[in-house]
Amino acid sequence: MIQMKELRKDFSVRVKAGRLRRVKRTVSAVDGVSLDIGTGEMVGYIGPNGAGKSTTLKMLTGVLSPSGGEVSVCGLAPVPQRTRLALSIGVVFGQRSQLWWDLPLAESFRLLRHIYRVPAADHAARLRRCRELLDLDAFLDTPVRQLSLGQRMRGELTAALLHGPRVLFLDEPTIGLDVVSKQAVRSFLGELGRSGDVTLVLTTHDLADIERLCRRLVVIDHGRVVHDGTIEQLHSRYGSRRRLIADLDAPLPDGFEVPGATVAAVEADRHRVTFVLDDVPAGAVVASLVNAAPIRDLSLVEPDIEDVVARLYTASVSGAP
């Protein structure tokens, strides 16, 4: 559905050199990205600020022309075939509205039907589905300028889907939303993804979006792909491990060890111990711990994707993979 081969985007920027002189320098925002995204995939596209996420998205939607490489979306070249492509894709820019500011939401939807030339019956059916899933009825007749951010985003999602796009691009769809709206947007996108007809590419800063929605995760930094795979692969590749925290009724004996686990911290007068499970099931650690000291409480902490990604960003800055 989406192919990118060695896709590049260079910008020339003027850098101050001395008091009046400015030197032109070329900066690669996207520096050779190759990806192949199949029909019905849900891909999370993440990276730190300025990594090239939005630039990639703009090249995929026909807003920006690439400096090099190849790109095709739905079998079309985005920039030369922009208007044809526009009929097959939906785009939600978290901070830019597709809706008519002064008109009721319903009116915007009606206008979009004409702009995308959607048959009335299809339009009505899609709108009905969105109204149910996104709870639009309460504010369908409210002018967009009076909507809350969460309501507006639900409107934007609907607007992007009314022409039945085969690919949906979402640029920061949950930015600035409250918890309830975030949940609503996520479960709607989850539902959409499960149907399998829509390919979904999502950039975000909120990794919870990715954990909830995307099987595949692409991490980009300095214009290059630094990870492409599942979240589990990310964990195993970057050594994220589960941790076991135990509260004890008696102090942990000196020199206590379990093969395959590392003691990461001993706190509270040796009454609390944290193990990092390198290569051993939690049960084995508990079994040997019971022999050493009576256990009052246990908790098992799953690896945190935010930590992994943060480590990934710093690693790629320092040059190591």
Q: Which residues bind other proteins (CB under 8 A)?
A: 11, 55, 58, 61-65, 67, 79, 82-84, 86-87, 89, 91, 93, 95-98, 100-103, 107-108, 110-111, 114-117, 143
**Least distance from C-beta 34 to other proteins, angstroms?**
21
Q: Which is nearer to other proteins, 175 or 280 (CB)?
A: 175
Q: Which of 102, 128, 123 is nearest to 112 (CA)?
A: 123
CA–CA gap between residue 201 and residue 149 (Å, rounded): 22
Closer CB to other proteins, 111 or 276, in the complex: 111
- Closer by beta carbon to other proteins, 53 or else 216: 53
Q: Give the residue with the Cβ less far from other proteins, 116 or 313.
A: 116
Give min distance, CB of 55 to other proteins, in A: 7
Give which of 30, 32, 33 is closest to 9, Cα–Cα.
30
Round to whole Å and give the CA distance between 22 and 18.
7
Please report which helix (H) or strand (E) contains residue 47, including its range: none
Q: By C-beta, is 60 or 261 nearer to other proteins? A: 60
Alpha-carbon 255 to chain mean position: 44
Report DSSP letters for 276-303, one per residue: EESSS-HHHHHHHHHHHS-EEEEEEEPP
Q: Of 63 and 276, which CB lies nearer to other proteins in the complex structure? A: 63
- Joined together, the tokens standing for residue 257 give 């060890």
Cα torsion for 16, 20, 21, 26, to the nearest 10°? Answer: 30
Q: Of 58 and 182, which CB lies nearer to other proteins in the complex structure?
A: 58
Q: For the chain, how far is it from start to end, CA to CA, in angstroms?
A: 28
Q: What is the nearest approach in angstroms of other proteins to the Cβ of residue 138? A: 21
CB of 137 to other proteins, least distance (A): 21
Structure tokens of 38? 């199949």
Angle made by CA atoms 50, 55, 58, in degrees to the nearest 5:
150
Give the nearer residue to other proteins in terms of CB position, either 60 or 289. Answer: 60
Q: Dihedral sign for Cα 145, 151, 156, 159, please.
A: negative
Contact 134, 154 (CB under 8 A): yes
CA 317 to chain centre: 20
| Residue 151: CB minimum distance to other proteins, A | 18
CB of 228 to other proteins, least distance (A): 24
Shortest Å, Cβ 319 to other proteins: 28
Q: How far is the CB of 85 from other proteins (least distance, A)?
A: 8
